[in-house]
Amino acid sequence: MKSGVSPRVPRKRTAECVSGVLISDGAVLVEERRVDDDADPGLVLLPGGHVEVGESLDRALKREMREELGVRVEKVAPIRVRYYTASNGERQRIHYFRIKDWKGKIRSNEESVYWESEIDHLSDVIERKIVRKLLSQVSRERTHNKLLSKVGV
């Protein structure tokens, strides 16, 4: 080995993940992770999970929302992608989607899931930014739609 050159260390593979943002009446659906969870125990985060090998992002999002929340995703829009390192060291590339329409009653078997109107209660700074921006967009859309209905469009 040459002096001053360190042996090449293989990089850990980045896990592809999806996360769904559901908004209703000025609140966002969040999950509080179990305190005994391997990754991010006790944190309040947006619901989501890992993309399985050979699975599309759309299919993964629909599967995760069905498994975690018991809902059938109908209409989505991509928001953004970011890199994140979980507390267990796993490197993730998270694809965030706004879930505009869903069917079914929200329930969870794994984490504590609830509607949160205090955005600062989310544990992750980036997720707080995502939600604030989306809430602002939703508010503007509602105002725009009200104006259109008043003028008869």
* pTM for the full predicted model: 0.84
Instruction: Say which range, 47-56, 58-67, 143-152, has the weakest mean pLDDT.
Output: 143-152
Beta strands in the chain (DSSP E): 15-21, 23-24, 27-32, 44-45, 48-50, 72-85, 91-103, 112-116
For residues 40-56, average pLDDT: 96
Tell me if 119 sits within 8 A of 23, measured CB to CB: no
pLDDT at 150: 65
The fold of 15-150 is Nucleoside Triphosphate Pyrophosphohydrolase (3.90.79)
Q: Residues 89-146: pLDDT tens digits?
A: 999 999 999 999 999 999 887 679 999 999 999 999 999 999 999 999 887 766 645 5
